[in-house]
A and B are shown apart, each in its own frame.
Chain A
Amino acid sequence: MAVKLPIYMDNAATTRTDPRVVEAMLPYFTEKFGNSASRNHKFGWEAEDAVDLAREQAAALIGASPKEIVWTSGSTESNNLAIKGAARMYARSPEGTKGRGHIIAAAHEHKAVLDPCKRLQNEGFDVTFLQPPADGVITRAMVAEAMREDTILVSIMWANNEIGTINEVPEIGALCHERGVIFHTDATQWVGKMPTDVEKDHIDLLSWSGHKMYGPKGVGALYVRRRNPRVRLEAIQDGGGHERGMRSGTLNVTGIVGFGKACEIALHEMDSERERLLNLRRKFERELSSRLEVTQVNGHADRRMPHILNISFGYVEGESLLMGIKDIACSSGSACTSASLEPSYVLKSLGVGDELAHSSLRLSLGRWSTEEEVDYAVEGIVKAVNHLRTMSPLWDLYKEGIDVSKIEWQTH
C-alpha cells in the first residue's frame, strides 16, 4: 500500500477529528443551533438534550455521574479551574496572608498545571514540585513523603505528554483519600486510550480535552466529584451561572456534541486500538534502536502510553533532524525553535543530558497510523540520522573514543 505523505505522527499534540464525530456535530451548526440555556422553546430544548447526552457519554468514559461533568474550553482551562478553584476554595487562611496551604505537583507536569501552581505560590500557597526519577514515574511513595499536615491539593498528571510515562495515579489517589486531600489529575493523554474509573482510581478532579481523543478542538471537560467527598471550586469565570456556577458562559453545544461522540467511540474502541498501537510502537522502537547506534528511549521501559515514543539519537540535533524528515510530522525536545537555548524541561527533569535532550524526537501514533507509515518513518529517520552524523563533529569525537561530556566547551 502506498503511503500518503506527509505522515502524521504528532497525535500527542492533536488528533484528526473522527469523521463520525464531525457527522454528529453538523446538525448543531445550522439546524439545531439553539442555546442550551434557552428554557422556553424547541431550539433550546434540542440543544439541552444534546448537551445532556454528551454529558452521559463523557461520564460513562470515566465511570462518573453526568452531574459531575463541567464543560470547559479544553484541558488548559480544566486544569486552571481545578487547581486554582480548589486551592482558593480550601485555602486555610484568607487572601493576602501567607501559609494558605500546601500543594504538591510534579516538575514534569504540562505548563497548564505548572503555571497555575506558580501563580498560587504568588498568592501565598506553598507548592512542592516533585522531581521525577530517571524513569519519569511519580509514585505513591514520593507523594507520601512530600505530604504535610497543611497539604490541601495534589495534582499529578496521569500520563506525561512528552514521554508517555504513566504515574501511579490510582495509588496516589488512594493516599490522598486516606489523608483527606483533594486529588486532581491532568488526564489529557490518558482518557479515551486507557480504562478510567474515577471511583476505583480515587480521583476528585480530572481534566481532559476533546482534540486529543479524535474530537474537536476548543472543548474540554473537568470531572468534579460530588460525593465522598463533595468537591467545591471557586469559579474563575463569572457570569450567567452555567455549569452549576463553576463555569459561566454559553455552552459550546456543537463542540460538546462532538466531545460526547468522541467519548462514546473511545469507550467502544479503546481496547483494540490500544493493542494495535502498542504493537506498532514496539516495532517502531525496535527498528530504530537496532538500526542506529547510540539511541535512547526516554522514560520508563514499560509504564508508558501505547502511542507515544520519545527517543534520542546521540550527536544529532533535533531540529535539523526534523528538517531531514519533512514528510513525517512529529516534534522534538530541542528548543532550537524557541528563543531560549534550553531543551525540553521534561527530559531535563528526568536527568537526560542537555545534549541528548536536544537530540530527541517525540513520535506519537493515532487511530489512522498504519504499519506502512511506521516502516516509511523508520527508513526516513535512519537516513536522516546517518546523514547528519556524517556532518557531526560530536559523532567524530565519539568514534575517536573521546567522551564529549568531558570536553570543556566554550558556552555562549
Chain B
Amino acid sequence: MAYSDKVIDHYQHPRNVGSFGTSKEVATRKDVGVGIVGAPECGDVMQLQIKVNDAGVIEDAKFKCFGCGSAIASSSLATEWIKGKSVDEALAIKNTQIVEELSLPPVKIHCSVLAEDSIRSAIADYKKKNGIAAATTQEASAH
C-alpha cells in the first residue's frame, strides 16, 4: 500500500514523541492529562499526554504510539494541532480533519478515530484530576 508523503514524513520525523514522566509519575500530576486508547491485540495503542497551564491552554503535548505508519502519523499530527489550543478548542478536532490532512485511505480511518479518541481521553483525564465537569467529553466513549 502506498502511503501519502505526509504520512511518511510523520513516520520518519515524528513530532513531539515522548512523555512527561513514567505512567506512575504522570498519574498524580494535575497539570498533565493522559489518554491511552486502543489495544495491543488490535495492533494499535496510542498514548497522548497533554500539559495544560492555568489558563486552560495546552502548552505542550507528547505522544507514543504502537501501530502502523498511519497511526503514528495521526498521533504525531494530533500533538501538532492541539499545542497552543485551549482544551475546548482541542475537543473540536474531528477525525475527518486528520483523514483529510494525511490523505488516509478507508482502511486507515480507524487510525484517525483513535487519534481523536486519544485527545478526548487525555482531556477527560485532565478535567477529572482538576474536578472540572466533563460534560463535553461524554461522547468520547461513544466510539
Q: A residues touching B (Cβ–Cβ < 8 Å)?
A: 315-320, 323-324, 334-339, 341, 343, 353-355, 358, 390-397, 400, 402, 404-405, 409-412
Assuming the contacts A336-B68, A402-B23, asked whether A323 and B40 have C-beta atoms less than 8 A apart, the reply is: no
Q: How far is the CB of B16 from chain A (nearest CB, A)?
A: 11
Partner of A412 from B3, B23, B69, B143 at Cβ < 8 Å: B143
Pair B43/A391 contact, Cβ less than 8 Å = no
Pair A396/B64 contact, Cβ less than 8 Å = yes
Pair A323/B47 contact, Cβ less than 8 Å = no
Q: Which residue of B lies closest to A337 (CB)?
A: B1
Pair B72/A391 contact, Cβ less than 8 Å = yes
Pair B23/A394 contact, Cβ less than 8 Å = no
Pair A393/B42 contact, Cβ less than 8 Å = no
In the assembled complex, B65 has its CB within 8 A of some CB on chain A: yes
Tell me, in angstroms, the Cα distance from A168 to B46 when the chains sit together: 43
Q: How far is the CB of A111 from chain B (nearest CB, A)?
A: 20
For chain B, the bracket of interface size reads 35 or more
Residue pairs across A and B with CB atoms within 8 Å: the count is 99
Q: Which residues of B contact A412 (CB under 8 A)?
A: 38-39, 42, 110, 113-114, 143
Pair A404/B72 contact, Cβ less than 8 Å = no
Pair B69/A319 contact, Cβ less than 8 Å = yes
Pair B68/A319 contact, Cβ less than 8 Å = yes
28 contacts between A and B (CB under 8 A): A318-B43, A319-B68, A320-B67, A335-B43, A336-B43, A337-B107, A341-B110, A343-B43, A353-B41, A354-B42, A355-B40, A358-B40, A390-B17, A391-B64, A391-B65, A391-B66, A393-B46, A393-B47, A394-B66, A396-B64, A400-B23, A400-B24, A409-B39, A409-B41, A411-B39, A412-B39, A412-B113, A412-B143
Q: Which residues of A contact B110 (CB under 8 A)?
A: 341, 412
Partner of A320 from B40, B46, B69 at Cβ < 8 Å: B69
Q: How far is the CB of B37 from chain A (nearest CB, A)?
A: 6
Pair B22/A396 contact, Cβ less than 8 Å = yes
Partner of B66 from A316, A323, A339 at Cβ < 8 Å: A316
